[in-house]
Amino acid sequence: MKRGTISSRVATLVLAASLSSAQTFKRLGSCPTLGCVLPPDQTEFLAGQLFDIRLEVHAPLNGTEASRNGVPDEAFTFCIRKSGKSLCEAATKFFGMSEPKVEKWSFKRVF
């Protein structure tokens, strides 16, 4: 076998391995499971700083995390607990706001 043939096969294998690893989905630290809370837990803020809270509820259709046939649980709740307390309070009550409208996003792979 020629030396050029072996090196071209190795190069092809390396290229194929890099392409497949680039397609691996990596979760953010704030999204360890099928949902996200942004900003992440234990984030430090400056006194008087304003920020938005974003919640994401995921329901993938395929892969190792496929759940609920791709339909996210719209009955999720979000509460805030003060340090040292055992009970949490609904975020809407804590912030004195009404329940926001749930947004729905659907991402489809187009190739």
Burial readout 63-94 (b: 16 or more C-beta within 10 A, e: otherwise): eeeeeeeeebeeeeeeeeeeeeeeeeeebeee
Quote the tokens at residue 21.
Answer: 């690893």
For 12-45, what is each residue's pLDDT tens digit? 555 555 444 444 555 666 676 778 888 877 778 8
| 3-state SS assignment for residue 78 | coil
DSSP-derived 3-state class of residue 10: helix
Whether pLDDT at 87 is above 80: yes
Would you say the pTM of this structure is higher than 0.75? no
